[in-house]
């Protein structure tokens, strides 16, 4: 078992370590890091990572921590395309199919809770999207979720694909979903969000009084959680996503 780090937590130092590990294609056990003690500290390190790699705060993923706190992370590298996206492959990459949205109105922090209908009204467009998952932490978020939050909740890249009907936000559950890697099946089953509602985590984040005042502004792209689970990929290659209704996208992963 790895010995616990005796270093004091420093968000800048943690950011440098996470970036270096990813650049080298390596992982380290949670115990080897000076751990952030809470989500706030994890976000401080995540912000330091984002600043160093040039990730935009206008393209984010929303998720939920194990203690049911809404969390976000920047999507980087980020590509928008209606044909084939090109993203880098790293060893251990996993792949998720998601529905993403772009906001057409601001959702400022306020004392009164947003309803789901209000958040849905703020959505201008919906898209088919694909997320790459990579982490520098051996255990992911199972030992220290604040550490995993610092490592961008595992985001390793994102492709925003074709626009889909906004109504798909409410109707995508149960649609047939097929994913292939170089023509070999990776997933073939129903589309299912982890909590059954594509908008659930975005609504929760909108109602987080502690989020930055400048978050969730018009034009922001937000991806909302996997419809397929995280699928391991055998290597670089072409991943094709086909969602019932004729919605399709392709992602070419290069080593």
What residue spans define the domains of the chain?
55-254
Q: Crossing angle, helix 39-53 and helix 11-23, to 10 degrees?
A: 50
Q: Is the peptide bond before 77 cis (omega within 30 degrees of 0)?
A: yes
Residue 7's pLDDT is 76
Average pLDDT score, the chain: 96
Residue 5's pLDDT is 55
Write the CB contacts of 127 (distance below 8 Å, at least 6 apart in sequence): 99, 100, 101, 102, 160, 161, 162, 163, 164
237-252 per-position pLDDT tens digit: 999 999 999 999 999 9
Residue 1's pLDDT is 35
Residue 2's pLDDT is 43
Whole-model pTM? 0.95
End-to-end CA, the chain = 32
Q: From the CB of residue 21, how many other CB atoms can be counted at a distance below 10 Å?
A: 18
* Architecture category of domain 55-254 in CATH: Alpha-Beta Complex (3.90)
């Amino acid at each position: 078992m790895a010995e616990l780090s005796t270093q004091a937590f420093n968000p800048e130092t943690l950011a440098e370590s996470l970036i270096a590990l990813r650049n080298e294609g390596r992982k380290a056990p949670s115990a080897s890091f000076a751990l952030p003690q809470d989500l706030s500290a994890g976000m401080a390190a995540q912000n330091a990572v984002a600043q160093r790699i040039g990730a935009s705060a206008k393209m984010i993923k929303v998720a939920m921590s194990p203690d049911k706190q809404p969390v976000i992370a920047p999507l980087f590298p980020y590509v928008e395309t209606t044909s084939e996206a090109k993203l880098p492959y790293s060893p251990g990459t996993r792949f998720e199919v998601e529905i993403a949205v772009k906001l057409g109105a601001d959702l400022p922090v306020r004392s009164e809770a947003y309803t789901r209908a209000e958040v849905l009204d703020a959505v201008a467009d919906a898209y088919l999207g694909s997320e790459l998952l990579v982490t520098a932490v051996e255990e992911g978020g199972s030992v220290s979720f604040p550490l995993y939050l610092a490592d961008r909740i595992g985001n390793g890249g994102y492709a925003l694909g074709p626009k889909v009907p906004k109504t798909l936000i409410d109707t995508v559950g149960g649609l047939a979903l097929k994913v292939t890697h170089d023509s070999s099946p990776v997933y073939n089953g129903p589309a299912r969000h982890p909590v059954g509602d594509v908008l659930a985590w975005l609504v929760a984040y909108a109602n987080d009084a502690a989020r930055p005042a400048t978050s969730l502004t018009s034009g922001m792209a937000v991806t909302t959680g996997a419809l397929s689970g995280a699928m391991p990929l055998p290597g670089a290659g072409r991943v094709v996503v086909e969602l019932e209704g004729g919605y399709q996208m392709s992602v070419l992963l290069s080593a």
